[in-house]
Structure formats: C-alpha cells, structure tokens
Chain A
Amino acid sequence: QQQVKQSPQSLIVQKGGISIINCAYENTAFDYFPWYQQFPGKGPALLIAIRPDVSEKKEGRFTISFNKSAKQFSLHIMDSQPGDSATYFCAASRGSGRRALTFGSGTRLQVQP
C-alpha cells in the first residue's frame, strides 16, 4: 500500500523558474512532513519540513504548502538553479518525526541553464 503518492515523476524547469512537486498521503495519523533532496551516490538530506498545524513554511527559496483537509502537500522551489538538479522525496511520519519515515517515489528535477 503506497501511503504517500508523489508527482510528477520527473520535471524539467528553466533556470529562474518555479519547480512544483506534489504529494498526497492517506494516513491521517501522520503529523510530520519533511522533504528530502538526494544527489546521485549520496544519501537523502533534509531540505525543509512542516507540521499539520501550519499551512505554509518558507525557508529561503523553498516553500512547503500544506492542505490538511485534502491530505496534500507540495514543495515549491523559487528561482530554480542548475544546482537544484537532484531527486526530491516527500515523506511523512507519525510521532512528530521520531518514527519511521514513509517516502514518496521521488521526483527527478532537472534545471536547465
């Protein structure tokens, strides 16, 4: 059972554009929603995370939008740069993140110069 569904599978954006990645979850017990960035040959690294008591969180060029009623959340990357080219994973967890993470299937982002 895929508890976190992520789309699109791949995304090509021009430098300076906005990258948008969407995720939907099923388990209403989830209370922590991080986004991870992974470069080839490396482990995932935390980018930004949100809890369901807020609808938006912004850190630099990265913003998470969260819709609790729709059970959906998204990552927006503003002013996308070639260095942002990587695979992005949404995830969800119970216990405020102090439990196992359930990951989406990933989005491969390519930012063209």
Chain B
Amino acid sequence: GAGVSQTPSNKVTEKGKYVELRCDPISGHTALYWYRQSLGQGPEFLIYFQGTGAADDSGLPNDRFFAVRPEGSVSTLKIQRTERGDSAVYLCASSLGHQSNIQYFGAGTRLSVL
C-alpha cells in the first residue's frame, strides 16, 4: 500500500492475555517507530528501529512490552500479561531513515483491555 498499514485496527482482549500488533511500513523506509497515544494525549514514544535493530527502546514502559523487526520491514509489537492501563491507540510510523526526518504515521491499533 501507499501508506503505513497497521493491523488489526481494533483489538479487544482480557486482562492478563498476550497481544501482538502489526505494522507494515512504507516500502523502502528503513526507520520504524512505535508510539502509544492515550485518550486526549499526544503520542508517547516506545521504540525505534533502524533496519532490523532497535536503535532506541528507552520508551518501553516495562519488560511486558517487546517489539521485533526481523527482516527490516514489518514490525510486531508484543505485549504480555496485558493490564487495563495498556489500553490506548498504538501508532506506528516509518521514515526513510538517514535520508529524511519525516515520520509517516499509520492510523493505529486501538487496544482495549477489559
């Protein structure tokens, strides 16, 4: 597709369950970012990949959160033992990396933990 694609668009889960959120970046974009946006707030940085490696994971709130990008394209954000406080919209963005500083965002995955 032309833009950043995130699936699913909505995810409802129960407290304690494991979830995976997927991000398909724009083709050719080497940098990929995950953010979390709570209701009425600005996006909050979680992790940033340059290629396959996590260049900065300082925003991950705790060890229940983990993200991978094994082939340098698609990324998966994984949340273990979900808590109600994890409910938010999880946004993914991609950019051309060293060639550009413009981050293009997907529409996000709305996660609801019941």
Residue numbers of A with Cβ under 8 A of B are 4, 6, 32, 36, 41-46, 49, 89, 91, 93, 96-106
Total count of chain B residues near the partner, CB < 8 A = 27
- Across the interface, do B108 and A43 meet the contact criterion of CB distance under 8 Å? yes
Inter-chain CA distance A15–B104, complex, in Å, is 29
- Across the interface, do B31 and A98 meet the contact criterion of CB distance under 8 Å? yes
Closest 4 CB pairs of A and B: A97-B101, A43-B105, A103-B42, A100-B45
Inter-chain CA distance A36–B106, complex, in Å, is 13
B95 touches which one: A36, A98, A106 (CB < 8 A)? A98
Inter-chain CA distance A6–B102, complex, in Å, is 21
**Which of B41, B45, B59, B101 has the most CB atoms of chain A within a 10 A radius of its CB?**
B101
- Across the interface, do A41 and B107 meet the contact criterion of CB distance under 8 Å? yes
- Across the interface, do A43 and B101 meet the contact criterion of CB distance under 8 Å? no
Hey, which chain B residues are within 8 Å of A97, CB to CB? 101-103
- Across the interface, do B48 and A43 meet the contact criterion of CB distance under 8 Å? no
| B28 to A: closest C-beta gap in Å | 16
Contacts A32-B101, A43-B91, A46-B102: A101 and B31 contacting too (C-beta < 8 A)? no
- Across the interface, do B101 and A96 meet the contact criterion of CB distance under 8 Å? yes
